Structure 1
Protein backbone atom coordinates (compact mmCIF):
# COMPACT_ATOMS: atom_id res chain seq x y z
CA UNK A 1 0.00 0.00 0.00
CA UNK A 2 1.24 3.45 -0.95
CA UNK A 3 1.30 6.98 0.33
CA UNK A 4 0.74 9.34 -2.60
CA UNK A 5 1.82 12.97 -2.26
CA UNK A 6 0.27 15.52 -4.62
CA UNK A 7 1.76 19.04 -4.65
CA UNK A 8 -0.72 21.69 -5.78
CA UNK A 9 0.37 25.26 -6.44
CA UNK A 10 -2.02 27.98 -5.37
CA UNK A 11 -4.52 28.40 -8.19
CA UNK A 12 -3.86 32.14 -8.50
CA UNK A 13 -0.45 31.32 -9.99
CA UNK A 14 -1.08 27.89 -11.52
CA UNK A 15 -1.42 26.98 -15.19
CA UNK A 16 0.06 30.16 -16.63
CA UNK A 17 0.11 28.63 -20.13
CA UNK A 18 -3.69 28.55 -20.05
CA UNK A 19 -3.76 32.34 -19.73
CA UNK A 20 -6.16 32.66 -22.68
CA UNK A 21 -8.75 31.07 -20.44
CA UNK A 22 -8.92 34.42 -18.68
CA UNK A 23 -10.65 34.40 -15.30
CA UNK A 24 -11.37 30.69 -15.74
CA UNK A 25 -7.69 29.73 -15.34
CA UNK A 26 -7.62 29.38 -11.52
CA UNK A 27 -10.91 27.48 -11.59
CA UNK A 28 -9.49 25.08 -14.15
CA UNK A 29 -6.33 24.60 -12.08
CA UNK A 30 -8.36 23.71 -9.00
CA UNK A 31 -10.69 21.43 -10.95
CA UNK A 32 -7.72 19.57 -12.43
CA UNK A 33 -6.22 19.09 -8.97
CA UNK A 34 -9.45 17.96 -7.35
CA UNK A 35 -10.12 15.39 -10.08
CA UNK A 36 -6.55 14.13 -9.77
CA UNK A 37 -6.84 13.79 -6.01
CA UNK A 38 -10.16 11.99 -6.19
CA UNK A 39 -8.81 9.51 -8.74
CA UNK A 40 -5.67 8.88 -6.68
CA UNK A 41 -7.79 8.19 -3.60
CA UNK A 42 -9.89 5.71 -5.61
CA UNK A 43 -6.85 3.56 -6.47
CA UNK A 44 -7.03 0.35 -4.44
CA UNK A 45 -3.27 0.32 -3.80
CA UNK A 46 -3.27 3.77 -2.19
CA UNK A 47 -3.43 3.89 1.60
CA UNK A 48 -3.37 7.67 1.89
CA UNK A 49 -3.34 10.76 -0.31
CA UNK A 50 -1.54 13.84 0.97
CA UNK A 51 -2.02 17.18 -0.76
CA UNK A 52 0.63 19.83 -0.19
CA UNK A 53 -0.96 23.22 -0.78
CA UNK A 54 -1.85 26.59 0.68
CA UNK A 55 -4.86 27.11 -1.60
CA UNK A 56 -7.63 27.63 0.94
CA UNK A 57 -10.44 27.17 -1.57
CA UNK A 58 -8.95 23.93 -2.84
CA UNK A 59 -8.57 22.66 0.71
CA UNK A 60 -12.19 23.50 1.50
CA UNK A 61 -13.35 21.40 -1.48
CA UNK A 62 -11.24 18.30 -0.83
CA UNK A 63 -12.91 14.89 -0.71
CA UNK A 64 -13.05 13.31 2.72
CA UNK A 65 -9.98 11.41 3.83
CA UNK A 66 -7.34 13.42 1.99
CA UNK A 67 -4.69 14.81 4.30
CA UNK A 68 -3.40 18.37 3.98
CA UNK A 69 0.16 19.55 4.55
CA UNK A 70 1.13 23.19 4.18
CA UNK A 71 3.37 24.19 1.29
CA UNK A 72 6.78 25.42 2.53
CA UNK A 73 6.92 27.82 -0.42
CA UNK A 74 10.30 26.68 -1.70
CA UNK A 75 9.31 25.05 -4.97
CA UNK A 76 7.79 21.83 -6.21
CA UNK A 77 10.36 19.37 -4.89
CA UNK A 78 10.43 21.01 -1.47
CA UNK A 79 6.64 20.73 -1.33
CA UNK A 80 6.85 17.06 -2.23
CA UNK A 81 9.53 16.51 0.39
CA UNK A 82 7.28 18.05 3.04
CA UNK A 83 4.49 15.67 2.07
CA UNK A 84 6.78 12.66 1.98
CA UNK A 85 7.99 13.49 5.49
CA UNK A 86 4.37 13.38 6.68
CA UNK A 87 3.54 10.08 4.96
CA UNK A 88 2.80 6.94 6.96
CA UNK A 89 3.33 4.19 4.39
CA UNK A 90 6.86 2.93 3.65
CA UNK A 91 6.08 2.86 -0.09
CA UNK A 92 5.90 6.47 -1.28
CA UNK A 93 4.96 8.22 -4.51
CA UNK A 94 4.70 11.78 -5.77
CA UNK A 95 2.01 12.51 -8.34
CA UNK A 96 1.48 15.71 -10.29
CA UNK A 97 -1.80 17.48 -9.60
CA UNK A 98 -2.75 18.29 -13.19
CA UNK A 99 -4.01 14.94 -14.46
CA UNK A 100 -7.74 15.62 -14.83
CA UNK A 101 -8.34 12.50 -16.95
CA UNK A 102 -6.54 10.17 -14.52
CA UNK A 103 -8.05 6.70 -14.34
CA UNK A 104 -7.46 5.01 -10.95
CA UNK A 105 -6.75 1.75 -12.76
CA UNK A 106 -3.86 3.34 -14.66
CA UNK A 107 -2.39 4.59 -11.38
CA UNK A 108 -2.79 1.15 -9.82
CA UNK A 109 -1.03 -0.46 -12.77
CA UNK A 110 1.89 1.93 -12.40
CA UNK A 111 2.19 1.45 -8.64
CA UNK A 112 2.05 -2.30 -9.06
CA UNK A 113 4.92 -2.15 -11.57
CA UNK A 114 6.83 0.29 -9.36
CA UNK A 115 6.75 -2.16 -6.46
CA UNK A 116 9.30 -4.30 -8.32
CA UNK A 117 12.04 -1.64 -8.35
CA UNK A 118 13.66 0.71 -5.82
CA UNK A 119 12.78 3.88 -7.71
CA UNK A 120 10.45 4.40 -10.65
CA UNK A 121 9.29 7.23 -12.88
CA UNK A 122 6.42 7.66 -15.34
CA UNK A 123 7.17 9.83 -18.36
CA UNK A 124 4.67 12.36 -19.63
CA UNK A 125 3.32 12.02 -23.17
CA UNK A 126 6.06 14.26 -24.55
CA UNK A 127 8.70 12.01 -22.92
CA UNK A 128 10.61 14.94 -21.41
CA UNK A 129 8.78 15.42 -18.13
CA UNK A 130 7.53 13.17 -15.34
CA UNK A 131 4.09 12.66 -13.83
CA UNK A 132 4.83 10.07 -11.12
CA UNK A 133 7.93 9.21 -9.12
CA UNK A 134 8.15 6.44 -6.52
CA UNK A 135 10.47 5.07 -3.87
CA UNK A 136 10.25 1.59 -2.34
CA UNK A 137 10.30 0.98 1.40
CA UNK A 138 13.70 1.76 2.89
CA UNK A 139 14.84 3.80 -0.12
CA UNK A 140 15.74 7.43 0.55
CA UNK A 141 13.31 9.82 -1.11
CA UNK A 142 14.51 11.99 -3.99
CA UNK A 143 12.69 13.87 -6.73
CA UNK A 144 13.73 16.29 -9.47
CA UNK A 145 10.53 17.69 -10.97
CA UNK A 146 10.95 20.66 -13.27
CA UNK A 147 12.20 21.23 -16.82
CA UNK A 148 13.66 18.02 -18.28
CA UNK A 149 12.62 16.05 -15.22
CA UNK A 150 12.51 12.66 -16.95
CA UNK A 151 16.26 12.72 -17.59
CA UNK A 152 16.86 14.09 -14.10
CA UNK A 153 14.87 11.27 -12.52
CA UNK A 154 16.70 8.69 -14.57
CA UNK A 155 19.94 10.19 -13.27
CA UNK A 156 18.63 9.62 -9.74
CA UNK A 157 18.28 5.92 -10.54
CA UNK A 158 14.59 5.82 -11.40
CA UNK A 159 13.46 3.06 -13.74
CA UNK A 160 11.09 4.36 -16.39
CA UNK A 161 7.88 2.33 -16.31
CA UNK A 162 6.68 1.06 -19.69
CA UNK A 163 3.14 2.40 -19.72
CA UNK A 164 1.07 2.74 -22.91
CA UNK A 165 1.42 6.11 -24.60
CA UNK A 166 -2.32 6.72 -24.16
CA UNK A 167 -2.25 5.97 -20.43
CA UNK A 168 -4.15 8.67 -18.56
CA UNK A 169 -1.25 8.81 -16.11
CA UNK A 170 0.90 10.36 -18.84
CA UNK A 171 -1.56 13.11 -19.73
CA UNK A 172 -0.79 16.11 -17.57
CA UNK A 173 -2.32 19.38 -18.75
CA UNK A 174 -0.38 22.61 -19.20
CA UNK A 175 -1.64 23.71 -22.63
CA UNK A 176 -4.88 23.73 -24.59
CA UNK A 177 -3.58 20.99 -26.88
CA UNK A 178 -2.95 18.79 -23.85
CA UNK A 179 -6.38 19.66 -22.51
CA UNK A 180 -7.92 18.56 -25.82
CA UNK A 181 -6.17 15.20 -25.53
CA UNK A 182 -7.17 14.74 -21.91
CA UNK A 183 -10.75 15.60 -22.83
CA UNK A 184 -10.74 12.86 -25.46
CA UNK A 185 -9.78 10.35 -22.73
CA UNK A 186 -12.55 11.54 -20.43
CA UNK A 187 -12.10 14.28 -17.86
CA UNK A 188 -12.96 13.95 -14.21
CA UNK A 189 -16.32 15.31 -13.06
CA UNK A 190 -15.20 18.75 -11.88
CA UNK A 191 -13.12 19.56 -14.93
CA UNK A 192 -15.79 18.24 -17.28
CA UNK A 193 -18.57 20.19 -15.57
CA UNK A 194 -16.57 23.40 -15.56
CA UNK A 195 -15.77 23.16 -19.27
CA UNK A 196 -19.33 22.18 -20.18
CA UNK A 197 -20.86 25.03 -18.20
CA UNK A 198 -18.68 27.82 -19.46
CA UNK A 199 -17.30 26.73 -22.80
CA UNK A 200 -13.69 27.59 -21.99
CA UNK A 201 -11.56 27.60 -25.13
CA UNK A 202 -8.21 28.83 -26.32
CA UNK A 203 -9.89 31.40 -28.56
CA UNK A 204 -12.47 32.90 -26.25
CA UNK A 205 -12.37 33.03 -22.44
CA UNK A 206 -15.72 32.78 -20.67
CA UNK A 207 -17.71 35.99 -20.58
CA UNK A 208 -19.34 35.31 -17.19
CA UNK A 209 -17.79 34.92 -13.73
CA UNK A 210 -17.23 31.31 -12.77
CA UNK A 211 -18.21 29.44 -9.65
CA UNK A 212 -16.69 26.28 -8.28
CA UNK A 213 -18.61 23.14 -9.30
CA UNK A 214 -20.42 21.67 -6.31
CA UNK A 215 -18.66 18.72 -4.62
Structure 2
Protein backbone atom coordinates (compact mmCIF):
# COMPACT_ATOMS: atom_id res chain seq x y z
CA UNK A 1 0.00 0.00 0.00
CA UNK A 2 1.44 3.38 -1.01
CA UNK A 3 0.24 6.97 -0.77
CA UNK A 4 0.48 7.17 3.02
CA UNK A 5 -0.10 10.29 5.07
CA UNK A 6 2.38 10.51 7.96
CA UNK A 7 1.39 12.49 11.06
CA UNK A 8 4.44 13.59 13.06
CA UNK A 9 3.87 15.27 16.46
CA UNK A 10 6.97 17.20 17.58
CA UNK A 11 7.37 18.91 20.95
CA UNK A 12 9.43 22.08 21.30
CA UNK A 13 13.03 21.11 21.91
CA UNK A 14 13.04 22.53 25.45
CA UNK A 15 10.14 20.27 26.44
CA UNK A 16 11.46 17.09 24.83
CA UNK A 17 13.26 14.05 26.21
CA UNK A 18 13.25 15.24 29.79
CA UNK A 19 14.27 11.80 31.10
CA UNK A 20 17.59 11.92 29.29
CA UNK A 21 20.14 13.22 31.78
CA UNK A 22 22.53 15.03 29.46
CA UNK A 23 24.88 17.96 30.06
CA UNK A 24 24.16 21.52 28.99
CA UNK A 25 21.85 21.89 26.03
CA UNK A 26 22.59 18.38 24.76
CA UNK A 27 19.05 17.18 25.45
CA UNK A 28 17.56 19.91 23.27
CA UNK A 29 20.13 19.31 20.53
CA UNK A 30 19.38 15.59 20.59
CA UNK A 31 15.60 16.17 20.41
CA UNK A 32 16.19 18.46 17.42
CA UNK A 33 18.39 15.84 15.76
CA UNK A 34 15.82 13.09 16.31
CA UNK A 35 13.09 15.20 14.73
CA UNK A 36 15.19 16.21 11.73
CA UNK A 37 16.22 12.61 11.12
CA UNK A 38 12.56 11.57 11.28
CA UNK A 39 11.67 14.22 8.71
CA UNK A 40 14.47 13.05 6.40
CA UNK A 41 13.34 9.44 6.75
CA UNK A 42 9.79 10.36 5.77
CA UNK A 43 10.92 12.45 2.79
CA UNK A 44 13.05 9.53 1.57
CA UNK A 45 10.29 6.94 2.08
CA UNK A 46 8.86 5.40 -1.09
CA UNK A 47 5.43 4.89 0.47
CA UNK A 48 4.81 8.24 2.21
CA UNK A 49 3.16 10.85 -0.01
CA UNK A 50 2.17 13.53 2.49
CA UNK A 51 3.75 14.60 5.79
CA UNK A 52 1.79 16.44 8.48
CA UNK A 53 4.09 17.91 11.13
CA UNK A 54 2.24 19.11 14.23
CA UNK A 55 4.47 21.36 16.31
CA UNK A 56 4.93 24.58 18.24
CA UNK A 57 8.70 24.51 17.65
CA UNK A 58 9.53 27.31 15.16
CA UNK A 59 12.69 25.63 13.91
CA UNK A 60 10.85 22.39 13.15
CA UNK A 61 8.08 24.28 11.41
CA UNK A 62 10.66 26.01 9.22
CA UNK A 63 12.45 22.73 8.45
CA UNK A 64 9.18 21.08 7.41
CA UNK A 65 7.95 23.99 5.32
CA UNK A 66 9.36 22.59 2.09
CA UNK A 67 8.23 18.96 2.41
CA UNK A 68 5.16 17.47 0.69
CA UNK A 69 2.29 18.02 3.09
CA UNK A 70 1.79 20.70 5.71
CA UNK A 71 2.75 22.08 9.10
CA UNK A 72 -0.04 22.31 11.67
CA UNK A 73 1.05 24.79 14.31
CA UNK A 74 0.20 24.32 17.96
CA UNK A 75 -0.25 27.65 19.70
CA UNK A 76 -0.12 26.44 23.31
CA UNK A 77 1.02 22.83 23.22
CA UNK A 78 1.22 22.05 26.94
CA UNK A 79 -2.25 23.19 27.98
CA UNK A 80 -3.60 19.69 27.36
CA UNK A 81 -2.91 16.95 29.90
CA UNK A 82 -2.77 14.56 26.97
CA UNK A 83 -0.54 16.63 24.73
CA UNK A 84 0.75 13.93 22.39
CA UNK A 85 -2.65 12.49 21.51
CA UNK A 86 -4.11 15.99 21.24
CA UNK A 87 -1.41 16.91 18.72
CA UNK A 88 -2.14 13.76 16.75
CA UNK A 89 -5.82 14.64 16.62
CA UNK A 90 -4.88 17.94 14.96
CA UNK A 91 -2.94 16.04 12.32
CA UNK A 92 -5.75 13.53 11.91
CA UNK A 93 -8.23 16.35 11.32
CA UNK A 94 -6.04 17.70 8.53
CA UNK A 95 -5.87 14.25 6.93
CA UNK A 96 -9.63 13.71 7.23
CA UNK A 97 -10.24 16.98 5.42
CA UNK A 98 -7.58 16.71 2.71
CA UNK A 99 -6.77 13.03 2.20
CA UNK A 100 -9.76 11.11 3.63
CA UNK A 101 -9.22 7.95 1.59
CA UNK A 102 -5.46 7.58 2.07
CA UNK A 103 -3.85 5.33 4.70
CA UNK A 104 -2.41 7.23 7.64
CA UNK A 105 0.41 6.49 10.07
CA UNK A 106 1.58 8.29 13.19
CA UNK A 107 5.37 8.48 13.31
CA UNK A 108 6.87 9.66 16.62
CA UNK A 109 9.94 11.85 16.28
CA UNK A 110 12.15 9.69 18.52
CA UNK A 111 13.03 6.71 16.34
CA UNK A 112 16.61 7.79 15.56
CA UNK A 113 17.77 4.48 14.06
CA UNK A 114 14.81 3.99 11.69
CA UNK A 115 15.82 4.14 8.02
CA UNK A 116 13.46 4.83 5.09
CA UNK A 117 13.54 1.19 4.02
CA UNK A 118 12.65 0.10 7.56
CA UNK A 119 9.67 2.42 7.57
CA UNK A 120 8.54 1.26 4.13
CA UNK A 121 8.67 -2.39 5.18
CA UNK A 122 6.67 -1.55 8.30
CA UNK A 123 4.06 0.30 6.25
CA UNK A 124 3.60 -2.75 4.03
CA UNK A 125 2.96 -4.86 7.14
CA UNK A 126 0.67 -2.28 8.79
CA UNK A 127 -1.25 -1.84 5.55
CA UNK A 128 -2.61 -5.39 5.84
CA UNK A 129 -4.97 -4.22 8.60
CA UNK A 130 -7.66 -1.58 9.00
CA UNK A 131 -6.01 -0.50 12.24
CA UNK A 132 -2.63 -1.62 13.52
CA UNK A 133 0.28 -0.56 15.69
CA UNK A 134 3.89 -1.43 16.45
CA UNK A 135 4.84 -2.03 20.07
CA UNK A 136 8.14 -0.57 21.22
CA UNK A 137 11.27 -2.60 21.94
CA UNK A 138 10.35 -2.88 25.62
CA UNK A 139 6.99 -4.44 24.74
CA UNK A 140 4.79 -1.98 26.62
CA UNK A 141 4.68 1.26 24.64
CA UNK A 142 3.92 2.07 21.02
CA UNK A 143 5.91 3.49 18.13
CA UNK A 144 3.88 3.54 14.90
CA UNK A 145 0.07 3.62 14.79
CA UNK A 146 -1.68 3.18 11.44
CA UNK A 147 -5.16 3.11 9.92
CA UNK A 148 -6.51 2.38 6.46
CA UNK A 149 -8.02 5.89 6.42
CA UNK A 150 -7.89 8.86 8.80
CA UNK A 151 -11.42 8.42 10.12
CA UNK A 152 -10.33 5.09 11.65
CA UNK A 153 -7.23 6.46 13.37
CA UNK A 154 -7.32 6.36 17.16
CA UNK A 155 -4.29 6.75 19.42
CA UNK A 156 -3.65 6.23 23.11
CA UNK A 157 0.04 7.03 23.55
CA UNK A 158 1.14 7.02 27.16
CA UNK A 159 1.87 4.46 29.85
CA UNK A 160 0.97 0.94 28.71
CA UNK A 161 -0.14 2.18 25.30
CA UNK A 162 0.63 -1.09 23.54
CA UNK A 163 -2.02 -2.93 25.52
CA UNK A 164 -4.43 0.02 25.34
CA UNK A 165 -4.23 0.14 21.55
CA UNK A 166 -4.88 -3.60 21.42
CA UNK A 167 -7.96 -3.26 23.66
CA UNK A 168 -9.22 -0.54 21.33
CA UNK A 169 -9.21 -3.01 18.45
CA UNK A 170 -5.83 -2.29 16.87
CA UNK A 171 -3.78 -5.24 15.60
CA UNK A 172 -0.24 -5.63 16.94
CA UNK A 173 2.21 -5.82 14.05
CA UNK A 174 5.57 -7.38 14.95
CA UNK A 175 6.84 -8.05 11.43
CA UNK A 176 9.06 -4.96 11.45
CA UNK A 177 12.76 -4.16 11.74
CA UNK A 178 14.04 -3.62 15.32
CA UNK A 179 14.92 -0.04 14.35
CA UNK A 180 11.21 0.71 14.04
CA UNK A 181 10.63 -0.41 17.63
CA UNK A 182 13.48 1.40 19.37
CA UNK A 183 12.18 4.73 20.59
CA UNK A 184 14.32 6.72 23.00
CA UNK A 185 13.16 7.93 26.40
CA UNK A 186 15.97 6.75 28.69
CA UNK A 187 19.78 6.68 28.45
CA UNK A 188 19.82 2.92 27.89
CA UNK A 189 17.41 3.34 24.97
CA UNK A 190 19.85 5.77 23.37
CA UNK A 191 22.68 3.28 23.72
CA UNK A 192 20.53 0.57 22.12
CA UNK A 193 19.61 2.88 19.25
CA UNK A 194 23.28 3.71 18.81
CA UNK A 195 24.05 0.00 18.54
CA UNK A 196 21.36 -0.36 15.85
CA UNK A 197 22.84 2.57 13.93
CA UNK A 198 21.80 6.19 14.34
CA UNK A 199 20.69 8.39 11.48
CA UNK A 200 23.02 11.30 10.55
CA UNK A 201 21.71 14.17 12.71
CA UNK A 202 21.50 12.05 15.86
CA UNK A 203 24.83 10.40 15.14
CA UNK A 204 26.57 13.76 14.93
CA UNK A 205 25.16 14.88 18.29
CA UNK A 206 25.97 11.61 20.04
CA UNK A 207 29.48 11.48 18.60
CA UNK A 208 30.09 15.02 19.86
CA UNK A 209 28.86 14.02 23.32
CA UNK A 210 31.09 10.96 23.41
CA UNK A 211 34.07 13.03 22.32
CA UNK A 212 33.33 15.61 25.05
CA UNK A 213 33.13 12.91 27.72
CA UNK A 214 36.34 11.32 26.45
CA UNK A 215 38.16 14.64 26.63
CA UNK A 216 36.94 15.42 30.13
TM-score clears 0.5: yes
What is aligned with 2:32?
A: 30
2: distance between equivalents of 1:40 and 1:64? 13
| Aligned match of 2:43 | 41
Q: CA offsets per residue over residues 93-128 of structure 1, 9 Å max, x none?
A: 111110111111111111111222110000000010
Deviations 1:170-197 (A, max 9, x none): 0111111111111111111111112223
Paired residue total = 204
Alpha-carbon deviations, 1:64-101, whole Å to 9, x = none?
Answer: 31521112623111100101111243211111110111
In structure 1, stretches of 5+ residues that fail to align are 208-215
CA deviations on 1:143-165 (whole Å, 9 max, x unpaired) are 1011110011001111011235x
Q: Which runs of 5+ in 2 are unaligned?
A: none
1:171 equivalent to 2:167? Answer no
1:42-82 superposed Cα distances (whole Å, 9 cap, x missing partner): 11110111111011122233473152111262311110010
Classify the secondary structure of the residue corresponding to 2:21.
Answer: helix
1:54 and 2:56 aligned: yes
Deviation at 1:20, TM superposition (A): 3.0
Q: Which residue matches 2:109?
A: 97
Relative to 1, partners in 2 of residues 1:138 and 1:94: Cα closer, same or farther, differing over 3 Å?
Answer: closer
TM value normalised by structure 1: 0.87
Structure 2 residue 185 is the aligned partner of structure 1 residue 183:
no
Could you tell me the TM-score, scaled by structure 2's length?
Answer: 0.86
Q: Which has the higher helix share?
A: 2
Whether the 8 Å contact between 1:121 and 1:131 is mirrored in structure 2 is yes
Give the distance between the partners of 2:167 and 2:143, measured in 1 at CA. Answer: 16
Do the aligned partners of 1:2 and 1:47 also contact (CA within 8 Å) in 2? yes
